């Protein structure tokens, strides 16, 4: 509505003389150059450091003649990754399946339960302790029990991954649902909104940033849960996920393959994190402070 003059007007510049204008544009050029350099460096610097670290690792292994069953160099790990890709990719798929199914169930269950909690104080009071117990009990400790009680190893893995993934979604979404602006709540009341409308148009959108924060944590935890459960299932299980490959490679002293499986797990974790960050950014960029670019 109002125009704010942040830049000196043309008249001002003319008054300052041509020199001042020239310096001005030179300064702007320098600023643009600096910005461009920073954009490039943002990518180049971490990649360069990572390559240097890998190079150092390779060098140390080669220089000290470290046997490959103790510490393989990155080149050997890469080679193993390529050669064993047939087995490893199958295992990756199994682990991914458990992770994403657990995450999906955690999202549905976590959000559903959070909605239930926010609708009824009594449900929250009576069920929240269970959620906390599930959360604080180390998954490694209960995984063997779950594996005994549940016939299908696949389902047991799923349950383990779900237990660790669902709590951050539940607690974050509950917090979000309860943090809708009070005056907006008054407004909804004034216009006779029913519970469903308040949930749909006010509380769920208000909870969105909190839910997405929970999702970011839950994504990584689902993967960790799946891996931990696979370890607990061990060689006795019929599972052939990445953790099982690590165990198997350990028994055979096939350390390069162990590293290869480890690399795949890390990459999966990174991919999940990036995907949830991107989702969060896309959903919030128009309105939430966390995703909106600051004007400087």
Partner 1 sequence: MTVDVLARRSTTPKPTLVELQGVHKTFANGTVALENLNLAVGEHEFVSLLGPSGCGKSTALRLISRLAGLSAGRLVWSGEVAVGDIGFVFQEPTLMPWASVFDNVYLPLRLQRMSRRAVGARVDEVLDLVGLREFSNAYPRELSGGMKMRASIARALVTEPKLLLMDEPFAALDEITRFRLNDDLLRLWAGRRFTVVFVTHSVFESVYLSERILVMAARPGRIVEEIRVDAPYPRDDAFRTSEPYNAWCREASAALKRAMGES
Q: Which residues bind partner 1 (CB under 8 A)?
A: 1-2, 181, 183-184, 186-193, 197, 201-202, 205-206, 208, 286-289, 292
User: CB of 181: closest distance to partner 1 in angstroms?
Assistant: 6
Give 87-126 as a DSSP string: HHHHHHHHHHHHHHHHHHHHHHHHHHHHHHHHH-HHHHHH
Contact 80, 72 (CB under 8 A): yes
Report which of 58, 220, 237 is spatially closest to residue 147, judged by C-alpha positions. 237
CB of 111 to partner 1, least distance (A): 17
- Give the closest residue to 260 by CA, choosing from 66, 51, 67, 89: 89
Tell the smallest beta-carbon distance from residue 214 to partner 1 (Å).
17
170 closest CA partner among 138, 134, 211, 209: 211
Chain length of the chain = 296
CA distances from 151 to 57, 163, 182 (A): 44, 18, 49
* Smallest distance from partner 1 to CB 198, Å: 9
| Closest CB 187 distance from partner 1, rounded Å | 6
* Least separation in angstroms between CB 4 and partner 1: 10
Pick the closer one to partner 1 by CB: 131 or 202: 202
Other C-beta atoms lying within 10 Å of the C-beta of residue 149:
9
39 or 200: CB nearest partner 1? 200
Residue 189 C-beta: closest distance to partner 1, Å = 6
Nearer to partner 1, 29 or 189 (CB): 189
Nearer to partner 1, 4 or 148 (CB): 4
Rounded Cα gap, residues 112 and 106, in angstroms: 9
* Residue with Cβ nearer partner 1 (194 or 235): 194
Nearest to 123 by CA among 133, 114, 132: 114
Residue 288 burial by Cβ neighbours in a 10 Å radius (0-12, 13-18, 19+): middle
Nearer to partner 1 by Cβ, of 3 and 238: the residue is 3
- 29 or 181: CB nearest partner 1: 181
If you search the block for the tokens 């302790």, which residue do you land on?
Answer: 129
């Amino acid at each position: 509505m109002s125009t704010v003059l942040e830049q000196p007007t043309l008249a001002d510049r003319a008054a300052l003389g041509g020199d001042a204008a020239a310096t001005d544009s030179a300064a702007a050029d320098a600023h643009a150059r600096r910005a461009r350099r920073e954009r490039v460096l943002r990518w180049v610097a971490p990649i360069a450091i990572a390559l240097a670290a890998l190079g150092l690792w390779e060098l140390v292994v080669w220089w000290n003649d470290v046997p490959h069953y103790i510490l393989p160099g990155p080149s050997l790990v890469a080679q193993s990754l390529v050669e064993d890709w047939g087995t490893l990719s199958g295992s990756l798929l199994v682990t991914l399946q458990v992770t994403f199914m657990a995450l999906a169930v955690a999202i549905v269950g976590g959000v559903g339960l959070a909605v239930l909690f926010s609708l009824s104080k009594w449900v929250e009071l009576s069920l929240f302790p269970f959620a906390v117990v599930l959360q604080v009990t180390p998954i490694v400790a209960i995984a063997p029990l779950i594996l005994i009680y549940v016939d299908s190893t696949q389902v047991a893995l799923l349950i383990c991954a779900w237990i660790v993934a669902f709590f951050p979604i539940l607690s974050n979404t509950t917090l979000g649902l309860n943090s809708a602006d009070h005056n907006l709540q008054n407004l909804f009341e004034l216009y006779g909104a029913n519970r469903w409308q308040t949930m749909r148009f006010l509380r769920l959108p208000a909870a969105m940033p909190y839910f997405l924060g929970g999702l970011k944590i839950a994504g990584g935890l689902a993967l960790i849960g799946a891996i931990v459960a696979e370890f607990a299932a061990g060689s006795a299980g019929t599972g052939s996920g990445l953790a099982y490959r690590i165990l198997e490679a350990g028994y055979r002293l096939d350390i390069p393959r162990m590293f290869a499986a480890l690399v795949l797990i890390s990459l999966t974790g990174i991919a999940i994190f990036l995907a949830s960050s991107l989702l969060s950014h896309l959903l919030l960029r128009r309105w939430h402070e966390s995703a909106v670019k600051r004007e400087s």
